[in-house]
Every structure is written in structure tokens, then in C-alpha cells.
């Protein structure tokens, strides 16, 4: 019974830590995807012309995704900005650190969006699109550095196609920004199908799931949390009880041994003699005097 309890608790604890490991694995998968799409996008930059958008070719197992790249001069971009694909970059944006030429890698994850990005309590209603800035001063370099942005003027606008809301009414539609560090933020939509950002990353439009479902999910998550905490505490308590029980058994045996030793010390003591190299107890020899059957002695 004890072994079964330990096994069951071990499975629950493993599931708890597996959820945490899954989040780390998802972050790693997104980072790997960005690096892969950047790699294929830069392969399209063969004798590139400034300001021309090049579509990247990628393996068949990434079918449904789109990646493209454009190479720009920092000075021109600062003055004029750029209108590229679904993104409108206004003037007064500069890369950090500053480079003379940079590239923007644009992504549209299409039907892969929900495999890499999600928002608890919300559903994606548009594909996830994104962009990243990279140094392209030397396209022959094996190490391509990513760049940060400093948007000093108007924010960057992200334009999405028309989308249909799920059946029902009173849906809460919001913009979501998935940041480079793995976190996300929600914002209200001020223009139809348009989101705004001052940071690079990935973007989508989401709708809040029905309140009843959200409440139920939160209750289940809370119940699951306390259940796991209770099982972990129970496991630790069981271990503590086992340790205390083993200690009591050891003390009981030790007490019996001490009692036996005390009784042995109070009994008859024996002299010791040496037998070879060993010292051994020896009882004193007492001769039994003979008793005659009659008093006559010859």
C-alpha cells in the first residue's frame, strides 16, 4: 500500500513539473523558429536591392508559414519610415545599436499560429504575424546580430485582414503582443483590424472566451493547484511519519539492549583468562567433597 501511495504521488508531482517544463519547451521552440526563419530569409538576399521585399523559401514541413525580408538604410528609414507587408513603420525609428544597413524579417505563421502562441482565456481570430530587425551590414557574416528598436515618433501599426467573430454576441476583441522575452500584453483596439506597437515581436487579434468557461477554467486551475499542494504536503508528511516511526523502533531496540546489558552487569561476574591471544571469561573451579555411604573407614 505504501509503495502504491508513493507511486501515485510521484506521478502527480511529475505532472506538475511537466507543465512548467512544457512552458520552457514552448519558449525554446519559438526562439528556434525565429532563428530558422531568419536563416531562410537571409538566403533570399543574393545581391539584394535596397527597399525590395524578398520572399523566403522554406522546407515543406513549414508549409502554411510565410517569411520575407527587406534590406534598408538606417538614414532613409529614419526620415521616411516604410510600409512593408502588414506593417507600417512611421519615421523617427532607429535601431540600437546603430548600423548603416539593417534587414527586417517579417513572418506570418498562418495555420501554425496556435501551435506556438496562445493567450489564456482568449482565442486567436487572426494569424500571428511578426517582425524582427537584424544587422545586415555584412551579409557574408556567419553571425547575424539582432537589433533593438527606439521608436521616438508614432507607434508602428499592424494591419490585419477582415475576420469573423465566433457565433454569439458581446465579444471582447483585443490586440495581443507577444514580446521577444516570451511575455505578452493585451490592448484595446482603437481602429478596426489595426494594432499598434513600439516593440518588435509577434502580434494577433484575440477574442475573450465566454465568461462561464473562463470562470470554470479558473476554478479548475485553482482546485488543481490546491490539490497538488495538498498531495505534496501529504507526501512530505508521510515521509516524516516514516522517519519518526523508524526512530521510535530504533530507540525501542536500543532501550532493550541497554536493559539486557544492565541485567548482565548485575549478575554473577566471571574471572577472565587468556586462551591464546583471546581473553575469555572463566568460572572458578570448586571441588565437590566425597560423601561416604557409611561412617566406617578402613
In a shared domain, residues 23 and 151: yes
> The domain that contains 45 carries what CATH number?
2.60.220
In a domain, 277, yes or no: no
Same domain for 198 and 246?
Answer: no
How far is CA 208 from its chain centroid? 25
Would residue 58 count as lying in a domain?
yes
Q: Is residue 295 part of a domain?
A: no
Per residue in 139-159, pLDDT tens? 877 778 899 999 999 999 999
Do 50 and 167 lie in one domain? The reply is: yes
- With CA atoms as reference, report the closest residue to 201 among 63, 70, 106: 106
In terms of Cα–Cα distance, which of 202, 157, 196, 159 is closest to 179? Answer: 202
pLDDT given at position 16: 39
Q: Please tell me the predicted confidence (pLDDT) of residue 14.
A: 42
Residues 88 and 29 in one domain: yes
204 and 215 in a single domain? The answer is no
Full strand arrangement of the beta sheet holding 194-197: 82-84, 87-89, 156-159, 194-197
Q: pLDDT at position 153, please? A: 93
- How far is it, in rounded angstroms, from Cα 127 to Cα 83? 19
Q: Is the Cα torsion angle 179, 185, 191, 194 positive or negative in sign?
A: positive
How would residue 226 be classed by pLDDT, with cut points 50, 70 and 90?
confident
Instruction: Assess whether 132 and 46 both reside in one domain.
Output: yes
8 and 149 belong to one structural domain = yes
Q: Are strands 173-179 and 129-135 parallel, antiparallel or unpaired?
A: unpaired
The CA distance from 39 to 109, in Å, is 16
Question: What letter would DSSP give residue 63?
Answer: B
Q: What would the pLDDT profile of 154-203 be if each residue is shown by its tens digit?
A: 999 999 988 877 666 678 899 999 988 888 999 999 898 999 999 999 99
Where among 170, 192, 209 does a domain terminate? 209
Confidence category of residue 124, pLDDT binned at 50, 70, 90: very high
DSSP 16-60: HHHHHHHHHHHHHHHHHHHHHHHHHHHHT-SSPPTT-EEEPP--G
| Whether residue 142 sits in one domain with residue 236 | no
203 and 224 co-located in one domain: no
Tell me the sheet residues that pair with 53.
70
b/e burial code for range 266-290 (CB count within 10 A of at least 16 → b): eeeeeeeeeeeeeeeeeeeeeeeee
Q: Are residues 72 and 154 in the same domain?
A: yes
Q: What is the pLDDT of residues 65-91, one digit of tens each?
A: 999 999 999 999 999 999 998 999 999
pLDDT exceeds 60 at position 6: no
Range(s) of the domain holding residue 241: 211-261
Is pLDDT of 7 > 50?
A: no
Amino acid at each position: 500500500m505504501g509503495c502504491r501511495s508513493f507511486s501515485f504521488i510521484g506521478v502527480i508531482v511529475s505532472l506538475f513539473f511537466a507543465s512548467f517544463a512544457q512552458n520552457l519547451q514552448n519558449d525554446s521552440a519559438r526562439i528556434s523558429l525565429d532563428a530558422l526563419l531568419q536563416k531562410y530569409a537571409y538566403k533570399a538576399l543574393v545581391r539584394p536591392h535596397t527597399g525590395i521585399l524578398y520572399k523566403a523559401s522554406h522546407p515543406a514541413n513549414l508549409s502554411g508559414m510565410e517569411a520575407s525580408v527587406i534590406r534598408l538604410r538606417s538614414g532613409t528609414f529614419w526620415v521616411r519610415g516604410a510600409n512593408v507587408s502588414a506593417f507600417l513603420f512611421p519615421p523617427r525609428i532607429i535601431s540600437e545599436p546603430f548600423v548603416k544597413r539593417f534587414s527586417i524579417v517579417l513572418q506570418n505563421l498562418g495555420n501554425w499560429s496556435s501551435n506556438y502562441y496562445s493567450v489564456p482565456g482568449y482565442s486567436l481570430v487572426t494569424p500571428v504575424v511578426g517582425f524582427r530587425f537584424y544587422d545586415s551590414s555584412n551579409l557574408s557574416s556567419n553571425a547575424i546580430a539582432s537589433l533593438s528598436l527606439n521608436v521616438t515618433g508614432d507607434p508602428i501599426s499592424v494591419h490585419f485582414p477582415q475576420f469573423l467573430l465566433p457565433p454569439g454576441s458581446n465579444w471582447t476583441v483585443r490586440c495581443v503582443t507577444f514580446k521577444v522575452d516570451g511575455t505578452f500584453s493585451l490592448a484595446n483596439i482603437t481602429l478596426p483590424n489595426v494594432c499598434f506597437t513600439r516593440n518588435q515581436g509577434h502580434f494577433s487579434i484575440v477574442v475573450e472566451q465566454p465568461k462561464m468557461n473562463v470562470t470554470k477554467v479558473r476554478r479548475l486551475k485553482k482546485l488543481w493547484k490546491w490539490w497538488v499542494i495538498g498531495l505534496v504536503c501529504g507526501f512530505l508528511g508521510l515521509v516524516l511519519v516514516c522517519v519518526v516511526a523508524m526512530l521510535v523502533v530504533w530507540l525501542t531496540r536500543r532501550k532493550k539492549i541497554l536493559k539486557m546489558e544492565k541485567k548482565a552487569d548485575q549478575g554473577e561476574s566471571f574471572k577472565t583468562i587468556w586462551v591464546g591471544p583471546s581473553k575469555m571469561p572463566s568460572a572458578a573451579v570448586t571441588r565437590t567433597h566425597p560423601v561416604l555411604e557409611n561412617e566406617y573407614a578402613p
